Each structure stands twice: as C-alpha cells, then as structure tokens.
Amino acid sequence: MVSPAIALAFIPLLLTVLIRCRFYFVLFYRAVLVRIWRDCVTGLSREERAYQYVLTHATPGDPESILDAFDVWCSKVEFISTIGPKKGKVLDRMLMEQSPLTVLELGSHCGYTTVRIARSLPLGARLYSVEMDQRNAAIAEKIIRLAGFDDDTVELIVNPSDEVIPRLRSEYGLERLDFVFMDHWKKCYLPDLQMLEGTGLLGKGSMIVADNVLFPGAPKFLRYIRKSGLYEWKVHRATLEYSRGIRDGMAELVFQGIK
Amino acid sequence: MAMLFATWKHCVYVFATGLEDEVDTFQEEHERERHRGKRRDGERAKKKKRANGERRKRASNVGQEEEKLQARREKKGRRKRSSSDQQAEGREGDEAEQPTTKSSKAAKTRKNVKNEKTRKVEKEEKEDEADDEERNAKRKKKHGSNKKEENVEDGNKHTVKEKAGEVKKKKHKKVVETSSEKETSEEEDNEEEDSEEKEVRPETLTPEELETLKEAVDERKKLIQGLRGKPWAMKKKLVTLRESQEFVEKYEGALGKGKGRKLYAYKVMMTKKWMKFKRDFENFKTACIPWEMKIKEIESHFGSSVASYFIFLRWMYGINMILFCLTFGLVMVPEALMGRPYGTIPRKTVPRAEAPSAMDFAVLWDFGGYAQYSVLFYGYYNNQRAIGWLNAYSYMVVIRTMARNANESGVGDDNSFNFSWKMFTSWDYLIGNPETADNKFASITTIFKEAILEEQESRKDDNIHLTRFLRVLANFLVLCCLAGSGYLIYFVVRRSQKFALDGLENHTWWERNEVNMVMSLLGMFCPMLFDVISALENYHPRVALQWQLGRIFALFLGNLYTFIIALMDEINLKREEEKIVKFNITTWEASLYNISASENSTAPPVTIQPADVPRGPCWETMVGQEFVRLIISDTMTTYITLLIGDFLRAVLVRFLNYCWCWDLEAGFPSYSEFDVSGNVLGLIFNQGMIWMGAFYAPCLPALNLLRLHVSMYLQCWAVMCCNVPQERVFKASGSNNFYMAMLLVILFLSTLPAIYTIVTIPPSFDCGPFSGKKRMFDVIQETLESDFPTWFSKVFSSASNPGLVLPFILLMVLAIYYLQSTSKSYKEANVDLKKKLQTQNEENKKKNKLAALKAQMDLEEARKAASPSAEHPKNNNASPDQEADEEEDRGRGQRMYHSKNGRSPPPPRHDGHLPATRAPVPRNYHHGNQGSAGYLPGFPRESEARMHRVPSLQRH
C-alpha cells in the first residue's frame, strides 16, 4: 500500500496540472457540460438557442448588431465555435485588402462568419457558403436574411464540401475563386484544398484562409502547405475565440501557381 | 569578440554597398553607353583576348615595369567592363567562357561593377588619350548634330558634376576600405584570371612578370589565410578557396630558379605535409576529448544553452573522477590491501544474527548485510586519516574555475548599446538545424519586441500596486509551498525512525523507502508549481529564470537540511542506544573474563568468533547508508522521469497523433523541452550530497561516477530522440558562472553539516577510524605528536594561540577589503573609459557630418561658378531653342533655390544622393516644362549619358 506521505508529495503536480490547463477545463465546462445541461433543460439545440438570443437582442438588418449579439452570447452565455471578434478583425482586414468578387466559405455553421464576410464584401461580389448540416443551415439562412443579405449576395449550399467543390464550375458557373474561407471539419482542410487545386478554380493571387489550424489543429494541412510550394503562406497567431489562454492560429495562403 | 567583429565588418560592408547602389547604377549606365559606342566601332568588339593581346603588345613595347602594371590594371578593367556588359545585356551570348554557378556570377557582376568604380579614379589620370578620342568620335557620330549644342551646354554643367561625383566616389572608396579585405581579394581574383589567361610557361617569363606572379601568389596565400573571417556566403568562400589553392599550386613551384626551384618545391611540399599533420593532430585531439562529438551534435540541434549543460556534466564527471581517485587511492585501496582482511575483527564481520539474510538481494539493495560491513562504509575502517583532502581539493577546483570564468564574462556591460548588442551578437553560430534556427529567429524577434516594449514601459508604469501585490502573493505561495514540502519531509523522516525502531522487516518496501521517494517527488514536482506561480509575477523572462533558479535552490536546500536535521535526531537516538550497548558490553566482557578466570587461571584466553561480539549501532555507517540510499533513489527517479516524461510522452504524441482530435504535436502535450535549469540544479545538488556523504561512505564518488557516466549517454540519447528545441533559445555563456557560484555555495553548505558532526558528536566506540577517541579532530593532535618532529608541534601550538591568529585574520580581512575596493575602482574607471569612447565616437560622427556638409557646400559653390560659364556658349548660339533655354534658366533658378533650401537644414540623404546619380536639374526642368522632350521625368538615363560624354568632348 502506498503511504499517505507519498500521495501528499503528488499534490504539487496536481496543482500544476490544474493551473496549467485551467483554460482547457473552462472550455470543457462551457462547451460540453453547459451545452448538455441546456440541451436537456430547453429541448432546443445550441444553435437554436443562439438564434433566439440574437433574434431578441439584435436589430434586424444591421449586421453589426447581429455580430455583437453573437459575441455577447458566446462569451457570456454559452460557447459556440465561430471565428470570434479578434480573429474576425484580421479576416476583415484581409477582405478589405483583397476585395474579392467570388468568395467560397466552407462551413457556415450558424452564419456568424457568413455575415462577417458578407458585410465587408465589395459591391457586386458573391459569397457561396457551404454547410453540411441541415438544421444548422436553416439557422444560418435565417441569420443571414436577418442581417439583410439577399440571395444575390449570399448563396447557401446545403451539402458536404467534398460534394460541392467538384461541381462548383459546372453547376454554379464559377470561373475563379478569389477568396476561400475554411472553418468546417479540420480533417477536411487538406482534401478540400487539394480538390480546389484540382478544379483549377484557384488563380494566381487567390487567397485561402483557414481558421483553427493550431487548436483543434490541422497538422496535415500545415505540413502540406509547407511542402507544396504552391502558396505563399503565414499563420496569424491568436487565441481561441472567447478564451484567453488557448493559443490558436489562422493560416493565410496566397495561391501562386506553379512557377 | 571575433564573431562580433566579423558581424560588424559584414554590417559595414552592407552599409557601404547600400550607399553605393546608386553609384553603381550610375556606373552601369555609363559603361553601357560607352560599350555601345565601342561596339559600334566594331573593331574592338567582343573578344577580350584580343584586347588583352593588344594590351600586352603595347606594354611590352614600352617595357617599363610601371607601364606594365598600369596596363594590367587597365586590361582588367576592360575585361570587367565587357563581362559586365555580357551579363547585364545578355547580348554576347557566349557565356561558356565563364562556367560558374549563378550565384557566383551574380557576385562577380557586383564585383565587376565595384572594381570598375575603384578603378575609375585612377582612370581619369591614366587612361590612354587615344582611346578616348576614338570613343568620343563614335559618340559624336551616334548622337546627331542636332543635339550637339545641347550636349555642349549640358556638358559644361556636367563636368562640374562629374568632378563632384569623383570626390564623392573617393569618399565612398574610403568607406569601402573598412572592408578592404574584400576589395583586395577581388583584385586578386582578377589577377588570377589574368595570369591564367596568359598561359605562359614560367621559363619564358621576364623577371618583371615573375615578380608580379610572385606578388599574386603571396596575395593569394594571404587570402587563403584570412578567408575564414570573411563575411561571405559559404559557397563563395569555397569557390574562392578552391580557385586560389589551384592557383597557388600551379604557380608556386614555378617561382624559384634552376637549383633553387627544386629546393623551393621541396620546402613547399614539406610545409604542406606539416600542415596536414597538424590538422590530423588537431582532429585526433578533438577525438580524444570524451563525448566531444556528441556534445557538438547536440549543440548544433539545440543551441548552446543545452550544450552548456552537457559540458557542465562533463566537467562534473572530471571532478568526480579525481575525487574518486583520491578516495580510492588514499582510503579504500590502502584499507583493502594493508588493513586487516574481512572477518578478523568485529567491525569487519557481519553479526551472527544478521548472517543468514546478509546475502539477500533485498538487504543488499538497502545497503545492509555484507554491503554494510564492507569497505564501502565508514564503520569498516580501522585507522585512516586523509579524507579532508577531498573537500579541500573540491574547493580549490571550483574557485579556480570561477575565477577563470569571471575573467571571461567580465567583458560585456549590458546597459549601454543595448540594441546594438542584441543586433550583432544574438545569433548563435553553432546552430546547424533548420528548426532550431527558426526558433532562434523567432526568439530574436521576440527579444526585440520585448526590448522595445521595455523601453516603452520604462517611461510609463501602470498599476504598480497590482503588480506588487501579485509578486508578494506569488512569493507567499512559494513560501507556503516550501514550508509544506519541508514539513512533509520532516514528518516522513520521523515516521521512518519509528519504523526503524519497530524493525524494518515489518514494513513494506514503500514505507521503508518513503523518505527518498518523497524527497525525489517533491524535488521533481515543486519546480513545476513554481514555474506556474511565477507566471503571476510578470517578470522579464531572464529575471524570471533567476527567480526560478533561486526558488528551486531554496527548495532543494531546504529539503536537504530538513533531511539532515532529521538525521541528527536519529543520531542522537543511536547514541542513546550506544550507551546501553556499551554498558551491556562491559558486563558481558566482565562475565566472560570471570568465566575464564574461574575455570582455569592458566588456560589461554577464550577466542570468540568476531561475529558473536555484541556491538554498538555505529551511527556513522547509518548516515552513510542513508546518503547512499538517497542518491540511488534520486538517480532512479531521474532516469524514470526521463523515460516516462520524455520518451513515453514522445512516443504517445508521435503515434497517437494519427488518431486524435487535435494536433498533439503542435498543441497541448507536445514534445518536452530540455529543462536546462532544472537539470543543472539536480546535478549540483547531487554533487552536494556527494560531498556531504563522502566522509561517511567513501564509496559515494564511485557511485556518482557511475551515475554521471550513465546519465551522459542516457541524456544525450533522450535529448536527441525525444526533445524539441526550446521555444526561447537563449545563450548560456552568461549563466555559466552562475552555476559555478551555486556549486560553490552548495559545497560550502554541504561541508557545514559534515564539519558540525565531526566537531560536536563523539564517534562511536567500536567502529570507524576514530573509534575510542573523544572527538574526531583529536586525531590531528595525535598525528602532530606522533608523526611529526617535536619542533613542528611546538610551532603549531604557538601558531594556534589567539594572539597570533586574530591579527592574522584581521590582516586577511583588510587585504580582501582593499582588493575588492581597488577592483571596484578599476571597474568604475573602465566604465568611464567606455563612456569616453562613446562620446568620442559621437564627436567623430559629427565631424564627419560637418565635413560632408562642407563638401556639399563646396560643390554648390563650384556649381554656381560653373553655371555662368555654361551660359556663355549658349547665348552665343542665339538659337531656335531660345525658349527652352529660358525655361532652363528658370529651372536652374529653381534648383538653386531648392539646393539652398536643402542646405540650411541638411537632409542626410541629400549628400549621398546628389552627386551620385540624378542631378536635380533636369528633373526640375522637366517638372517645370511638363514633359516636352523625349525623356520622362525621373528617368535619368539620357541625361547621365550626356553627363559623361561631355567632359571628353571638352577635352577634345
């Protein structure tokens, strides 16, 4: 039997681990425990609750206030994985510099990022947003319409991304993508990127932005872009949305083509 | 220092080239123009060889040494010119002549241009008139007569400018001369090419040519020698080295004459052999240093901080080797050879009661049984004196090393030139791994960011109360932690005494090894906690590292001392026991004597088996056992942590990463970094324990040697196999002496308890070398009385009386104080001198600036003087472009105004810029004129072409 003194000697280790990983514990609590509890209590899904909050707290037709309401809900009430205000600013800046005409968004979730992108697009630009989940897509649709973007600006495609990408040219009549934003399953980053390269929609200067490449992380994706040589790339280091201590990054790729 | 110097040189060079870029473009332009003229001429067109031939002919005609040198130089220039044309315009196509790699070609072009420029100054004086005439004629032809007047008028202006340009160029040359090695080497390059082109047999050479050849060879040798310190790319270095070696080999033998030649060749061969031997010997020496290659490899992967740990480990190994030799040679071997063998006296025999289990592994593992009654421990020894040597030696070595290190590290002062230091010295040139280089790069960037932030924050301090509160809180928490760990250890040691009284056999392995386990675990986990706590304090990382080290130090020391205090309690217990045993023994002996006396008074005394003799508990052996156990368990914990914390973690991270929901490698668990401070502290404390325990267990240095040996290999492997380079790579050279200082403190602190026990506690009566004496140090007196002559003891006793000792100590204190104060004053003087140097530098800079300003003013004056003279021919013309002239006048007026303006607050770029290329005149003119003529504003090609054509026209 292990003596109590030896067990006591492990207390510093325990404390260290607790303090080191406090952000992860908080995240776990907010993203998992609270969600389960609320799901049981309200009977609604998380996205529906977010939509309700936004509906009651934001001004319709004003993307700014909708985004604000989202931020408040995500940081105060529950946790939902969107891009968040800080990384969102980086994204806004990139969009301003690039002013793309055709934008593809993979994974719109509940529409936060879609609204964010759509509001900083130039006149006449078009945003294709791909969402796999039917229920999330419905919410996203509502949010987008609530923000005042019509079908000409934002087109929501409800399908998995690996089915949509090969058909972009044929069905949606796209010639070139100026800007691609990835925020869906981290495992799909790499295959989708390769698929995009295969379709030939990326031209010289097309920008691809991938969120959450460090946490939860897409190591294969990063390894690929490091090796491929097709891109000029950098990782904007930031923290995970609505959390201070977890490091995360957003990869910015500019397609250069084969030299 | 050398590294710093090299970097600095490089920087100067970069700076100079940066300045010269503008000049270069100017030169190129000029050259291109000239070349075009040349080509149109047609007869001198493409082949350099032909030009060379011509040259040589001419030179030989004159036959003068001077002339020849000049010709060579000119030829060089010609070649360079044409080759630069080749590369710049790419028209000539036959690049096969220069089969070099792309980079070296680029370098060459730059060289060429530069060379051209340096030559330029001389050219003005020396160039052949005929050449110029020809060229000018061509040019005149090329530019039709309609532009002639303009050319003339521009020409007047441009002569002035050209002269000014020349002045500037000279200045530039001076700047470049700071990196003059490069220049000379380039010239050598050219010479090499030239002489290779000659393709002449040495026999046919004239004495002058031989002379030049010899010079070339000498210069080449010089180049080879100084090549290592040059700020070039490795590729270029290699290419230059190979080329010049070939050259030297080819022509060196040819230099002597007749008989002398053979001797010379022989000499050269011998020198070469000797060099090779020396190099081999160096390699051999490096191979002889233990683990050198391993450490170098680690250094290249992880930077010098991790390597410094291993170097420290090696140094420790050396020290322990010597300690081991001392203990082994002076204590253990004599005892084993000359002392009485095992089993002759009671202290060297296992008691009867313990005999059956004495060979059991469990008992031996705890250093009981046979191990306890062996040469490994204090109790076995009979009569020895020589153990004080160990500590004396250790003190000596540590202090000597510290002094040496202090000499090395006392150079830099961090406060002045903070950014320059960071700029020029932060790179670690030993790094050879791309990933580490990336990390180093990132860390330098962050250092700069932090330094800038620090500068900013030093001006404003926000919420100092909060920071203070947090720091106090952190220290409070750390103190709590220290107290807790100290109490835990004390508690555990007391408990273990209780167990020992009950008899160890009744308890489990866990309970028996509780003390060591708890100490190792605390030593492992508490630093982690401190690390977390120190995040509260928001210190600069370097300061934070020092705090961290200090706290760990306090923790280890506290633990060690608690352990010793608990041991003291145990010693007292043992002594109580001893008293009882002693009493029992006297009665036992008496009874034995009585029995033998009553039985038969004449019978020989009964021989008793030494195993049957009852004996005291012998606290010295007990202490030694404790120490040995402690060290063993410490070693075990270290290795197990290494295996679990590093290796297992690395394996898990590596292979679980394929099927995990987040990135394990880049994200949370990641691979472990090598913890330099923790490892160094562990090593230091281990050494402290060795010093402390070596008195009671002479085997300790041997054990430690074994441990260090194993850990060298194990840690080398672990570092290379499962650690990643640190995110913040820092240089370790500064902290080396810090480690040494800690070692010294530990040495002092570890000898204290040993000395205390020696002085205060009487030795046990029946074991160890001091058995039967009242105090251990009585042996000194005894030695004095018995071993040394009587006068010595007299002297000693008179020397040790307080009347003599006290003044001596006072004197020493005074001397130390005096030395320290003088050293302080020297340091201050040093700082003053440094300040003086700095101010002088600044003054020099100012002077230079003033000189530059003055030169600029002169230039303006000259221009002013020149402009009226330029107007004269123009007015004579009374031409159709009168209007343009007027406008030009206006432009000039503007220019004058502009330049005056520019002069009064002198913009620093102005003076480097103005003479170099784009004269402001045409630009202003065009701005005024809204682009009437065929050239665009800010497109200076045409104007510059004119600028150079005109002087020659005038001469014509």
Q: Which residue of A has its CA nearest to B530?
A: A16
Alpha-carbon dihedral of residues B136, B137, B143, B148, nearest 10 degrees?
80
Torsion over CA of A49, A50, A54 and A57, rounded to 10 degrees? 70
Nearest to A215 among B481, B518, B662 (CB): B662
State residue B108 phi and psi, 5-degree precision: -65, -45
Q: Residue A129: how many CB atoms within 10 A of its CB?
A: 26
Q: Measured between alpha carbons, how far apart are the two ends of chain B, in Å?
A: 55
Residue among B508, B518, B667 whose CB faces A5 most closely: B518
- Contact between A16 and B525 using a beta-carbon 8 Å cutoff: yes
What pLDDT score was predicted for residue B246? 83
Q: In chain A, which residues have their Cβ closer than 8 Å to the Cβ of B521? A: 6, 9-10
Name the minimum distance, in Å, from the CA of B498 to any CA of chain A: 14
Signed CA dihedral, B318, B322, B325, B327: sign only: negative
Query: What distances in angstroms separate CA B255 from CA A132, A148, B192, one per listed residue?
Result: 84, 91, 15
With the C-alpha atoms ordered A20, A26, A27, A33, is the resulting torsion angle positive or negative?
positive
Mean pLDDT value across chain A: 88
Point out the residue among B495, B529, B663 whose CB comes nearest to the CB of A12.
B529
Q: What is the pTM of this model?
A: 0.57
Task: Tell me A208's DSSP state.
Answer: E
Our CA dihedral for B396, B398, B403, B408, rounded to 10 degrees, sits at 150
pLDDT of residue B186: 44
B111 near B55, Cβ under 8 Å? no
Distance CA B884, CA B24 (A): 31
Cβ neighbours, 10 Å, residue B277? 10
Considering only the C-alpha atoms of chain B, give the largest distance between any 2 of them, rounded to a whole number of Å.
157
Name the nearest CA neighbour of A241 among A103, A85, A94, A96.
A85
Pairwise CB contact (< 8 Å): A19 & B517: no
How many CB atoms are closer than 10 A to CB B464? 8
10-residue averages of pLDDT along chain B (956 residues): 44 42 45 47 44 46 47 48 45 42 44 47 45 49 45 46 45 42 43 44 67 83 79 84 82 62 81 91 84 80 79 86 78 66 61 61 62 63 52 64 54 57 75 72 72 69 78 91 88 79 71 79 86 81 76 85 80 80 76 61 54 66 81 87 87 82 71 81 85 79 90 90 70 60 79 76 68 64 65 72 79 86 86 89 91 91 77 48 45 42 42 41 40 39 39 40
C-alpha closest to that of B870 among B158, B136, B147, B143 = B158
Instruction: Please provide residue A238's backbone torsions phi and psi, each rounded to the nearest 5 degrees.
Output: -150, -170
Q: What pLDDT is recorded for position B756?
A: 78
Element (H, E) at B475: helix B464-502
Calculate the alpha carbon distances from B53 to B50, B86, B94, B195, B210 in Å.
5, 20, 20, 13, 19
Q: What is the DSSP string of B604-631?
A: PPPPPPGGGS-----HHHHHHHHHHHHH
Q: So what's the ipTM on this one?
A: 0.73
Q: Which of B923, B953, B856 is closest to B153 using CA atoms?
A: B953
| Dihedral-angle region of residue A242 (phi above 0 means left; psi in -120 to 50 means alpha; beta otherwise) | left
Does the annotation count A186 as an active-site position? yes
Handedness of CA B812, B818, B819, B821 (dihedral sign): positive
Q: Do A6 and B663 touch (CB under 8 A)?
A: no
* Angle, alpha carbons B639-B625-B759 (nearest 5°): 125
Cβ neighbours of B517 in A, within 8 Å? 6, 9
Q: Is A41 on the interface with B (CB under 8 A)?
A: no
Q: Which two tokens stand for residue B412?
A: 């830099």
Structural contact between residues A201 and A177, judged by C-beta atoms closer than 8 angstroms: yes
User: CA-based angle B813:B815:B818, to the nearest 5?
Assistant: 110
Alpha helices per DSSP H over B642-665: 649-656
Chain A CB contacts of B644 under 8 Å are none
Q: Looking at B648-789, list the stretches that DSSP marks H as alpha helix, in order from N- to C-terminal side.
A: 649-656, 676-693, 700-722, 736-760, 778-787
Q: What is the pLDDT of residues A175-185, one digit of tens each?
A: 889 999 998 88
In Å, what is the CA distance from B244 to each residue of A59, B99, B215, B220, B223?
A: 79, 17, 13, 6, 8
CA distance B321 to B391: 14
Tokens of B31: 């050259």
pLDDT at B851: 92
pLDDT digits (tens, 9 = 90+) for A94-145: 999 988 999 999 988 888 999 999 999 988 899 999 998 898 999 999 999 9
Q: Which residues of B touch A222 (CB under 8 A)?
A: 666
pLDDT at B450: 67
Contact A125, A149 (CB under 8 A): no
**d(Cα A55, Cα B478) in Å, to the nearest integer?**
50
The residues near A149 (Cβ < 8 Å, ≥ 6 apart) are A63, A115, A118
- Classify residue B382 by burial, with Cβ atoms within 10 Å: 0-12, 13-18, 19+: middle
Active site residue A152: no
Q: How far is B535 from chain A (nearest CA, A)?
A: 10
**Phi, psi for residue A207 in degrees, rounded to 5:** -110, 135
| Chain B: residue whose CA lies nearest to A19 | B532
Better pLDDT: B205 or A206: A206
Tokens encoding B729: 């790579």
In this model, does residue A221 exceed pLDDT 80? yes
Interface list for A 156-215 with B (CB within 8 A) = 214-215
* A13 contacts in chain B (CB < 8 Å): 525, 528-529
At B611 the pLDDT is 58
Calpha distance B721→B654 (Å, rounded): 12
B371 vs B350: CA distance, rounded Å: 9
The C-alpha atoms of residue A39 and residue A35 are separated, in whole angstroms, by 6
Q: Please, are residues B479 and B523 in contact by the beta-carbon 8 Å criterion? A: no
